[in-house]
Amino acid sequence: MTAGDRLPVPDFRLLLVRYRPTIDDDANDNWPRTRRPLPWALAGFLVMLWLMPFDSISLPIPLPLEAKLDRPVLLVLIAIWVLSLTGEGRSPRLRISAIHYAFAAFVLVAVISLVQGADVTVRLGEFELGVRKLALLLSYVALFVIVASSLRPGEVRPFMKLICGLAALTAIGVLWEYRTGFNIFYELSSKALPVSWPAELGNVDSLGRKSVIGPTIHPLAPAMMMACAMPYALIQMYDNKELREKVLWGTLACLLVAAALATGRKTSLIAPLAAVTVLVAFRPRILRQLLPLALGLFVIAHIAAPGALGGVGEAILPQNLFNTNSAMNRQSDYAAIRPDVIDHPFLGRGYETYDQKKYRILDNQYLTTMIGTGALGVLAYFSIFLATFLIAFRVARNRSGESASIAIAIAATTVALALGSALFDLLAFAQIPYLLCFFAAFAVVLAEELEPKSVTVRVRGALLPVGGVPGPARTQ
């Protein structure tokens, strides 16, 4: 070999032939075909969320704060998650996104507001209320982090189907309660657990509306829960080509809306309409299928909940929308909280220290957040919805097929929840923020498909990176 000769360069491409790549996200190990405990635990949490009145169940166990059923269940979830972090191969992956930062900002503002207003709220005996609510907020954040780090992109679709299946069971129970006055959720749970029956159950309000509450403590909660599940049913109806599948998903969507209408609240119509508007913005052709679906909704609502559609429809007419006692009370809320807002414009009087049972009910989460955490808190709270929508929008624009459809449904649900926050105190009903955390986490998991994926090969016992392989791009 002379000085001018070059050493031969080995062809590393042969390694790809002789050695099989190691891929972390094995489709054959996705839920429900997996033995990983976390996805199954999260599925169980969803079952509790939809079918049990967990916020009316206080367990006789010592906990620093309230021992509602969801608290120990969440502690078990956290324990499983922490143990899974020590595993190999199947351990959760921490994904940091804009939604994480939004949640962190909201928690930070909540803590600072509690501290800076402690001198007043302690004297008024309201500081402890804020601490309890802060602990509940941290439980929401913990659930979001667990779901976002534990699920795989291929598991989002079966989880969305699980949510729709559970929503269908809840809808049937709500409609049965509307027709007969029998609440199957409380009746069955009370046979095994200590259930506190809420005052709303079986009541009739000043407007003559039945209090149909399902597995919750107030009619507004099941109305919004149905609105959260409906967008995925509609997008599945649009995407499926088989007539049988279209009829199945369309019937489910009508069932969910009928159950929402059975609660008699204006939110049951306003929130679904907001979600449908987002779906039409993403998929304009869905309008062709929504028109005949409206006829199906009329038939199903008339049979399952007679009078519900007409009652809610009449309540949102312009001449009735602002003239009811409920509407006038909402309008007076702004003037009622003005002194507190003026005194504490940026950080409020302390997170959730405004005792609505003591002062007045604020049927608006933005007002509740404003008086508790000020303008900074409202911005941080809204940023959670904005970040979720933008991530879902990004996935919908850059992916195709099922991932895009799920992202569109998440975007529609997020808009419905953001609007719903202006219609009632959303954080007062634990089912809704828990669902928000699930959908936000689903968006984070789906966004992982947009990131370059590194493929590794095993060479003599060592893993070596081959390069970045981007996920499949959407075909324009």
- What would the pLDDT profile of 335-373 be if each residue is shown by its tens digit? 778 888 898 899 999 999 998 888 888 889 999 999 999
Is the pLDDT confidence value at 152 over 90?
A: yes
**pTM for the full model?**
0.88
DSSP tag of 427: G
Domain boundaries, the chain: 29-469
Query: How far from the centroid of its chain's Cα atoms is residue 212's Cα?
Result: 21
Q: Which residue has the higher pLDDT, 456 or 370?
A: 370
How far is it, in rounded angstroms, from Cα 114 to Cα 348? 9
Question: Which of 62-76, 96-110, 138-152 has the least mean pLDDT?
Answer: 62-76
List own/partner pairs for 136-140 with CB under 8 A and 24 or more apart: 136/427, 136/430, 137/106, 137/107, 137/110, 137/351, 137/427, 138/107, 139/70, 139/71, 139/74, 140/433, 140/434, 140/436, 140/437
Residue 74 near residue 94, CB atoms below 8 Å: no
Q: Which residue has the tokens 């929504």?
A: 290
Contacts of residue 236, Cβ cutoff 8 Å, sequence gap at least 6: 245, 249, 405
Other beta carbons less than 10 A from residue 312's beta carbon: 24
For the chain, what percent of residues have pLDDT higher than 90?
Answer: 69
**What's the confidence (pLDDT) of residue 325?**
62
How far is it, in rounded angstroms, from Cα 214 to Cα 169? 11
One-letter amino acid of 393: F
How far is it, in rounded angstroms, from Cα 215 to Cα 432? 12
For the chain, what percent of residues have pLDDT higher than 70?
Answer: 84
Is the pLDDT confidence value at 9 over 60?
A: no
The token duo for 268 is 């049951």
The token duo for 132 is 């309890």
One-letter amino acid of 259: A
Segment (H or E) for 222: helix 220-239
How far is it, in rounded angstroms, from Cα 335 to Cα 349? 17
Is the pLDDT confidence value at 12 over 60?
A: no
Is the pLDDT confidence value at 18 over 60?
A: no
Q: Which residue has the higher pLDDT, 328 or 177?
A: 177
Strands 453-459 vs 462-469: parallel, antiparallel or unpaired: antiparallel
Note the pLDDT tens digit of each residue in 81-131.
999 887 655 678 888 999 999 999 999 999 999 999 999 999 999 999 999
pLDDT confidence tier of residue 317, bands split at 50, 70 and 90: low
Note the pLDDT tens digit of each residue in 185-197.
999 999 999 999 9
List own/partner pairs for 297-303 with CB under 8 A and 24 or more apart: 297/253, 297/254, 297/257, 297/258, 300/251, 300/254, 300/255, 300/258, 301/254, 301/257, 301/258, 301/261
**What's the confidence (pLDDT) of residue 453?**
56
**What's the confidence (pLDDT) of residue 452?**
64
Is the pLDDT confidence value at 293 over 80?
A: yes
Strand pairing partners for 458?
463
Q: How far is CA 295 from CA 158, 300, 303, 406, 429, in A?
A: 29, 9, 13, 25, 32
Question: Which of 15-29, 108-122, 257-271, 374-388 has the least mean pLDDT?
Answer: 15-29
Q: How far is CA 204 from CA 111, 266, 447, in A?
A: 38, 16, 45
Q: CA triplet 443, 448, 454: central angle to 5 degrees?
A: 175
Query: Phi/psi at 462 (nearest 5 deg)?
Result: -110, 145
Q: Cα dihedral sign for 181, 185, 191, 194?
A: negative
